[in-house]
Amino acid sequence: MSYRTIIFDFDGTLANTLEESRRIFNRLAPDYGLREVTAEELPSLRHMSIKQLISHLDIPKRRVPGIIAKGTALMRGNIVRLPLIEGMGEILPALRARSTSFGVLTSNAPTNVDLFLRAHGLRGLFNFISSTSKLTGKAKHLKAIRKTFSLKSEEMLYVGDEIRDVKASKKAGIPVAAVTWGFNSPETLSAEKPDHLLTSAHELLDLSPST
């Protein structure tokens, strides 16, 4: 394996935003007539795809873009205080040294990602931050990144924590590493047959051996 460009999802992959996302959702829920999500529910929700989650929470599809927009705006107020995923601070510089380029592809706001990475002293490692407002729009962006950097598919790796990350990578024809420390459960991710299934950040180093 020789991954020249490594692209990371943000929420749940680089940043531990799960509890903050739950808090923000519960803050917005009354405005949309939705019920709040308890901490005890999270383990069962981890087995759901994004479509199943939206259906389970009875969120009207037309409301999804507005909730995401308001949620990302609210997250900005606390983004610099959110924790980095354990181990990322140590392995990202080493992994970057073995790669031609680093990037982020997220459904979160680029400003949030930029502020978070700067707060953790990591912004200089990343060449680009790309964002899609559509929950299922990552495949198109992955293809665009491949074209921009004149890469072969096998030279790229997308790292994400959700079913939709695996599906997007497969649709784009790009290798994917699914990480088990984010939103979706290890069992659910394994069923999607990612190229790599990682249980700790340090395992990323095994995918890009030093030369």
Enter the DSSP assignment of 48: S
The H or E element spanning position 47 is none
In the chain, the percentage of residues whose pLDDT exceeds 70 is: 98
Question: Do residues 165 and 11 make contact, with C-beta atoms less than 8 angstroms apart?
Answer: no
- The pTM is what? 0.94
- The Cα–Cα gap between 144 and 141 comes to 5
66-113 tens-digit pLDDT: 999 999 999 999 999 999 999 999 999 999 999 999 999 999 999 999
Mean pLDDT calculated for residue range 161-169: 97
Taking the CA atoms of residue 11, residue 8, residue 77 and residue 124 in that order, the dihedral angle to the nearest 10 degrees is 160
Q: How far is CA 45 from CA 39, 40, 49, 52, in A?
A: 10, 10, 9, 9
Q: What is the pLDDT of residue 210?
A: 61
* Tokens, residue 105: 């592809």
Name residue, tokens 């999802």.
9
Q: What is the pLDDT of residue 30?
A: 96
Question: Do residues 146 and 174 make contact, with C-beta atoms less than 8 angstroms apart?
Answer: yes
Q: What is the pLDDT of residue 187?
A: 97
Kindly tell me if the per-residue pLDDT of 55 is higher than 90.
Answer: yes
Tell me the torsion sign for CA atoms 5, 102, 85, 37. Answer: negative
Question: Are residues 133 and 184 located together in one domain of the fold?
Answer: yes
Mean pLDDT calculated for residue range 5-16: 97
Question: Are residues 111 and 159 located together in one domain of the fold?
Answer: yes
Mean pLDDT calculated for residue range 139-164: 94
Q: What is the pLDDT of residue 20?
A: 97
Residue 61 half-sphere exposure toward CB, CA atoms < 13 A = 6
The CATH number given to whatever domain includes residue 102 is: 3.40.50.1000
Q: Which residues pair with 5 in a beta bridge?
A: 101, 156
Question: Are residues 32 and 114 located together in one domain of the fold?
Answer: no
Q: What is the pLDDT of residue 140?
A: 94
Q: How far is CA 103 from CA 63, 88, 92, 94, 145, in A?
A: 29, 14, 12, 15, 9
Question: Are residues 66 and 87 located together in one domain of the fold?
Answer: no
Question: Are residues 22 and 12 located together in one domain of the fold?
Answer: no
121-135 tens-digit pLDDT: 999 999 999 998 777
Question: Are residues 99 and 159 located together in one domain of the fold?
Answer: yes
Question: Are residues 69 and 119 located together in one domain of the fold?
Answer: no
Residue 149's pLDDT band (cuts 50, 70, 90): confident
Q: What is the pLDDT of residue 1?
A: 57
Query: Which residue in 194, 44, 174 sits closest to 103, CA to CA?
Result: 174
Name residue, tokens 């784009």.
172
Q: Which domain holds residue 57?
A: 18-80
Helix axes 138-148, 163-172, angle to 10 degrees: 50
The domain total for the chain is 2
